[in-house]
Structure 1
Amino acid sequence: MPMLGSLRRLALTPSFTDVSFAKRGFPVRPTDATRRLEAIPQSVLCGFEWGIEVRDQWEVERRLELVEPEMRGFAYEGAAMAYTVRDAMAGGRGNRARDLLRGPGRPHTFLTYIGIGFAMARLPRPLWRKVLPDLTGVPYYPTMSWLAVDGYGFDRAYFEMDRWVTRQQRPAPYPWQGRADYFPRAVDQGIGRALWFIHGGQSPDVAAAVGRFATERHADLWSGVGLAATFAGGSDAEGLAVLRREAGACLPQVAQGVVFAAKARDFAGFVPPHTELATEILAGISVSAAAILADDVAADGFGQSAEPDYEVWRQRVEARVGADLRLANPPS
């Protein structure tokens, strides 16, 4: 019913002001680059609003396809968030998220997982057990579903900066894919992505923010920074060169995030210039080479490991691209 959809939207959808950097208290000076970064949560919000209010899924899909290619994945992210919430409200019996991710959302698989994580931030933990739909046959399922936990971490840092960034609290473990021990690490990867937005893509400020966290968290945080800088943009060549220098010993982790971002853009079928630029500067390779690398290191499966398959994949990417960076920049 249209009235029910309107009520859901009013109750659950934040305003554009709510997601603005100023409203969130981020230490950002407005520029064209930061306004472009702000357009990303606004695109997510549009997708969420359509998904939470509109009854007909075909109409939601048509609206999403009208979003400009660079921002379309973010709108799908918001729709996946909305459908996850609606499925949960249906007692876990809904199939909206499954149909979206198996259907038109398939090219945006990486971002729609993150949208599920945004929904998790708004749902009680007992409902998390059913938020991940059965996506058998969809590429990268279930390995990449850890991006939902990454999305949860991003959301918490973005909307509760004082708690998760200033005071650096850590979440209670949750057995996502049966691995409660890895849950805080995946959250940190999302917090690292959020730091890129919180500091408006200003590399020195982002690096300083990472440095204020406990040393053992730096690698995962830097990985998230690399992913955000590459997928979302917000910096020019000079700023990216600073980021590469500031990463220091964690540059391989940055490059791992870069490769995953490049893979996600390539898989979606649209690669903006800022992704090409960041991939070249931060990882020393092209987007197409990064996408091939990501698949190559996973081609033979992950075998038996004490780590989740997702972490094994990350480690293999990090080792490969890190070796290439060392060859390109041998110690003096």
Structure 2
Amino acid sequence: MASLLRSLRRRIITPNVSETKLATRGFHVKNAEARELLETVGEMFLTGYAYAAEARTPAEAEERLEQIPRRFRGFAYEGAGMAYAILDATPLATGRKVAGSLAGRGDAQVYLIYVGVGWAMARLPRILWSKVHAPDPLLRWLALDGYGFHQAYFRTDQYVHAQYQESRFPWPADAPQGYANRVIDQGIGRALWFVGGTDVDVVTSLIAKFPESRRGDLYAGTGLAATYACGAEEDELRRFAELAGPYRPQLAQGSAFAAEARVRPGLVVPATEIATRVFCGVSPEEAARISNEARPDQPIQGDVPAYEVWRQRIADQFVSLGGVSR
């Protein structure tokens, strides 16, 4: 009976895979290969979501998540993070599934799981956000990246084409005024890689429609997506870096985040190596090392959150190495 109830729970709360089709979303299609890649990413996200929704424990879900092909495993963990967060916020929920997922092999996918928490926030009533488990004061910002991606992906007309932005985002409560929107923009930037179908000219034109003050964070998000999800050839990535112009340091910073998210669980693929070489001038392993070493080791007081200090340190390091110009 318990197994039947878990299966029913999975069917009720798991989004339909048709929602990830580019035709359904109205996203640009560069070619058949790019469409297949992006739709597979969406399918693997929902697969991970379903595994987590149906499992008795995060450890049980983990056994199935680890069978996902290496290129797409992180997306499955991202989907699982969303499911765990929704289950944590469900009335009468027992335990903390997000915390449980990070106690095992999910620890290597911590960045993706935190992003998945942000997807859940986008689907949950705000009154339930107090139940969202994102305790790390540095990595909690990744939840807002996930929130921004979700909104741009599913509410594209409003968040992308109309460049909508909330004046006062309520989470986290102790955030410096306006900073939450900057991290949400990084998630929107990631989504632009999907909205634009990995076509660098289309993605660049979408970014150019946003106010100049938002473009650096948007380029950081696209740099992350282009490195983690991939979908563009080396010559296309070089053109994208050229088109980024003064935002190349932010592009490199996002690429370094993606590199660390793939290096940490051992999921580097050849396309990741090409992207970090183009955007950062170094290998994925070196980009990940720079990202990790730039990470603040203690809370930073003041108007600039530690998360932003981390990002700035990474961007500055790539400029100082000479591989990236401002």
| Pairwise TM-score range, normalised by the shorter structure | over 0.9
Counting aligned pairs with the same residue, the percent is 41
- 1:329–1:127 CA distance, 2 compared to 1 (3 A): closer
**Cα distance in 2 for residues equivalent to 1:143 and 1:275:** 25
Q: TM-score, normalised by structure 1?
A: 0.92
Q: Contact between 1:18 and 1:24, CA under 8 Å: does it hold in 2? A: yes
Q: Contact between 2:57 and 2:97, CA under 8 Å: does it hold in 1? A: no
Q: Please state if 1:247 is matched with 2:248.
A: no
Q: How many Å apart are 1:328 and its aligned residue?
A: 4.3
1:174 is matched with 170
Q: How many Å apart are 1:293 and its aligned residue?
A: 1.1
Amino acid at match of 2:147: Y
- 1:208–1:133 CA distance, 2 compared to 1 (3 A): closer
Amino acid at match of 2:283: S
1:295 to 279, 292, 297: 292
Secondary structure at the aligned position of 1:144 is classed as coil
Secondary structure at the aligned position of 1:102 is classed as coil
Q: Contact between 2:296 and 2:306, CA under 8 Å: does it hold in 1? A: no
- 1:330–1:148 CA distance, 2 compared to 1 (3 A): closer
2:101 is matched with 100
**Cα distance in 2 for residues equivalent to 1:259 and 1:56:** 32
Q: Contact between 1:302 and 1:312, CA under 8 Å: does it hold in 2? A: no
Describe how 1:219-230 pairs up with structure 2 within 5 A: 219-230=216-227
2:160 to 160, 165, 190: 165
Amino acid at match of 1:249: P
2:66 is matched with 65
Deviations 1:181-201 (A, max 9, x none): 311111100000000011111
- 1:3–1:300 CA distance, 2 compared to 1 (3 A): closer
Q: Please state if 1:277 is matched with 2:278.
A: no
Q: How many Å apart are 1:177 and its aligned residue?
A: 6.1
1:153 is matched with 148
Amino acid at match of 1:151: G
> Which moved further from structure 2: 204-213 or 166-175?
166-175
Q: Please state if 1:74 is matched with 2:75.
A: yes
Deviations 1:83-135 (A, max 9, x none): 1111110356531111012222111011000110111111011211221254x
- 1:104–1:271 CA distance, 2 compared to 1 (3 A): same
**Cα distance in 1 for residues equivalent to 2:140 and 2:232:** 28
**Cα distance in 2 for residues equivalent to 1:183 and 1:133:** 15
Amino acid at match of 1:34: R
1:85 is matched with 86
Q: How many Å apart are 1:39 and its aligned residue?
A: 1.0
Deviations 1:213-242 (A, max 9, x none): 111110110100100001110101011011
> Which moved further from structure 2: 167-176 or 78-87?
167-176
2:320 is matched with 323
**Cα distance in 2 for residues equivalent to 1:13 and 1:322:** 43
Describe how 1:17-56 pairs up with structure 2 within 5 A: 17-56=18-57
**Cα distance in 2 for residues equivalent to 1:150 and 1:202:** 22
Aligned-pair RMSD on alpha carbons?
Answer: 1.9
Q: Contact between 1:255 and 1:322, CA under 8 Å: does it hold in 2? A: no
Q: How many Å apart are 1:271 and its aligned residue?
A: 0.7
**Cα distance in 1 for residues equivalent to 2:232 and 2:100:** 35
1:267 to 258, 264, 270: 264
> Which moved further from structure 2: 216-225 or 167-176?
167-176
Q: TM-score, normalised by structure 2?
A: 0.93
> Which moved further from structure 2: 54-63 or 196-205?
54-63
User: What are structure 1's unaligned runs of at least 5 residues?
Assistant: 135-140
2:131 is matched with 130
Q: Contact between 1:201 and 1:234, CA under 8 Å: does it hold in 2? A: yes
**Cα distance in 2 for residues equivalent to 1:295 and 1:96:** 26
User: What are structure 2's unaligned runs of at least 5 residues?
Assistant: none
2:137 to 112, 135, 142: 142
1:138 is matched with none
**Cα distance in 2 for residues equivalent to 1:6 and 1:92:** 17
